């Protein structure tokens, strides 16, 4: 049984402060807790060397991501070609350990699968990136960035089926598993996103506000927050708190026009955790039916009531734990319906039972089985 492996990360997985990095960091931690010695390889851009990773890994290596504009001229996606690294390839060829590639970003190695023919190569598919980039392009306001995202989506449509060369693929949701299988991927396992919660810690009782949280500098999240403010909460008697990284001036201006809306700018981890825990309801809407949203898991593990739209639920089995509302009128009714209802022991028990497969130490069992057979 292999008790040692390589993990190739598309970014330095510390601090664990955004979706893909959170997923990688807590999976790395769970592997360490399962006594798997991980040789971590990180592509570095905009994030410093992280000594905090040393205690979780057998070794940690860093590689510069090549951000040269010339890389955009490649037929390969920029997220891939900017991480094509000869030094990394040589290090991985020096032994016969299993290799976990985090995202299609790191999959240039699969172009040389013949070099790794005697190796177990696993891909963690963080999204169906073709769809993800296409939807980012629709939400983007900046014309140059919109053009980049559109072109990257087209390149990914040609490139992403390369994942089928992997020996196993880890999808974040059932919907993504189906999409990956349609690309020809075999041995696809659903492994929910890594996160810090080992149990449900939702507080009993009742709060006095609704919360929307996310990275507010991302156009999709900005649009979702503005939609909630203008079409749902303005005119309601209930208070809405919008919290997240770098809210845009446009979002702040919209919020200022509603007396019952407060924006919390870039809260630290402790403040965000308290906002999620103290809220009466977490309201989560998205325009992208892709992946499994980490913010949903945070809300279910640490918050009280949860109202979502259907896109947030795609490919999950968590419908029973949420109220689903897809338009402004349904959202207003849903908020009205839960603001005066206490979160009780029965709800806590039910949530704890249904979320067991989503605890990271349980979620990585398919990965541990693959490594054991390598």
Domains of the chain and CATH, by start: 4-196+359-373 (3.40.50.2000), 209-355 (3.40.50.2000)
**Which of 154-158, 190-194, 218-222 is least confident?**
218-222
Average pLDDT over residues 279-304: 88
Residue 288: pLDDT above 80?
no
Whether the link from the prior residue into 15 is cis, omega within 30° of 0, is yes
CA 56 to mean position of chain CA atoms: 21
> What pLDDT sits at residue 2?
60
> What pLDDT sits at residue 291?
58
* pLDDT band at residue 118 under the 50/70/90 scheme: confident
> What pLDDT sits at residue 77?
98
% the chain with pLDDT above 90: 82
Average pLDDT over residues 45-53: 92
Distance CA 276, CA 304 (A): 8
Residues 6+ apart with CB under 8 A from 148: 72, 78
Q: Is pTM, for the whole model, over 0.85?
A: yes
Q: Which residues pair with 142 in a beta bridge?
A: none
Rg over CA atoms, the chain: 21
> What pLDDT sits at residue 140?
86
Average pLDDT over residues 88-96: 95
Average pLDDT over residues 346-370: 96
Average pLDDT over residues 285-312: 88
**Which of 229-243, 283-297, 305-319, 359-373 is least confident?**
283-297
pLDDT digits (tens, 9 = 90+) for 213-240: 988 988 888 999 999 999 999 988 999 9
Q: Which of 62, 61, 56 is nearest to 44 (CA)?
A: 62
Q: Are 231 and 258 in contact (CB under 8 A)?
A: no
pLDDT digits (tens, 9 = 90+) for 133-154: 998 898 888 999 999 999 999 9
Residue 79: pLDDT above 70?
yes
Q: Which structure tokens are listed for 287?
A: 């325009």
Distance CA 21, CA 189 (A): 20
Taking all residues of the chain, what is their mean pLDDT, rounded to a whole number? Answer: 94
Average pLDDT over residues 90-118: 93
> What pLDDT sits at residue 284?
94
Q: Which structure tokens are listed for 101?
A: 């590639």
Q: Are 228 and 258 in contact (CB under 8 A)?
A: no
> What pLDDT sits at residue 286?
86
HSE-up of residue 261 (Cα within 13 Å, Cβ side): 24
* pLDDT band at residue 364 under the 50/70/90 scheme: very high
Q: Which of 65, 58, 55 is nearest to 12 (CA)?
A: 65
Q: Which of 334, 328, 323 is nearest to 232 (CA)?
A: 328
Residue 290: pLDDT above 70?
no
Residues 6+ apart with CB under 8 A from 326: 309, 310
> What pLDDT sits at residue 273?
94
Which position has the higher pLDDT, 47 or 124?
A: 124
> What pLDDT sits at residue 119?
92
């Amino acid at each position: 049984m292999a008790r040692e492996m390589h993990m190739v990360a598309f970014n330095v997985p510390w601090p664990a402060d955004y979706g893909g990095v959170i997923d990688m960091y807590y999976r790395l931690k769970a592997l360490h807790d399962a006594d798997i010695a991980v040789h971590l390889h990180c592509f570095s851009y905009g994030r410093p060397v992280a000594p905090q990773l040393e205690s979780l890994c057998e070794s940690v290596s860093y590689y510069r991501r090549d951000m040269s504009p010339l890389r955009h001229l490649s037929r390969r996606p920029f997220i891939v070609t900017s991480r094509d690294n000869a030094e990394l390839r040589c290090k991985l060829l020096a032994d016969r350990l299993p290799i976990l590639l985090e995202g299609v970003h790191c999959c240039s190695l699969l172009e040389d699968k013949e070099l790794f023919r005697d190796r177990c190569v696993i891909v963690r598919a963080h999204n169906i990136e073709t769809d993800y980039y296409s939807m980012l392009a629709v939400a983007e306001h900046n014309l140059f960035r919109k053009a980049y995202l559109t072109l990257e989506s087209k390149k990914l449509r040609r490139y992403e089926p390369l994942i089928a060369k992997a020996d196993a693929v880890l999808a974040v949701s059932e919907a993504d598993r189906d999409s990956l299988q349609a690309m020809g991927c075999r041995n696809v396992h659903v492994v929910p996103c890594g996160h810090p919660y080992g149990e449900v810690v939702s507080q009993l009782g009742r709060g006095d506000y609704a919360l929307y949280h996310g990275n507010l500098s991302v156009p999709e999240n900005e649009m979702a927050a503005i939609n909630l403010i203008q079409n749902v909460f303005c005119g309601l008697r209930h208070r809405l708190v919008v919290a997240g990284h770098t809210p845009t001036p446009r979002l702040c201006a919209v919020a200022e026009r509603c007396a019952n809306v407060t924006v919390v700018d870039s809260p630290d981890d402790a403040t965000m955790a308290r906002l999620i825990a103290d809220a009466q309801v977490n309201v989560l809407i998205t325009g992208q039916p892709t992946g499994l949203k980490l913010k949903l898991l945070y809300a279910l593990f640490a918050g009280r009531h949860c109202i979502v739209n259907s896109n947030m639920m795609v490919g999950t089995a968590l419908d029973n734990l949420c109220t689903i509302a897809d338009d402004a009128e349904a959202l207003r009714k849903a908020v009205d319906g839960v603001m005066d209802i206490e979160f009780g022991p029965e709800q806590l028990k039910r949530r704890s039972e249904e979320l067991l497969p989503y605890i990271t130490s349980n979620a990585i069992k398919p990965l541990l089985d693959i490594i054991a057979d390598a």
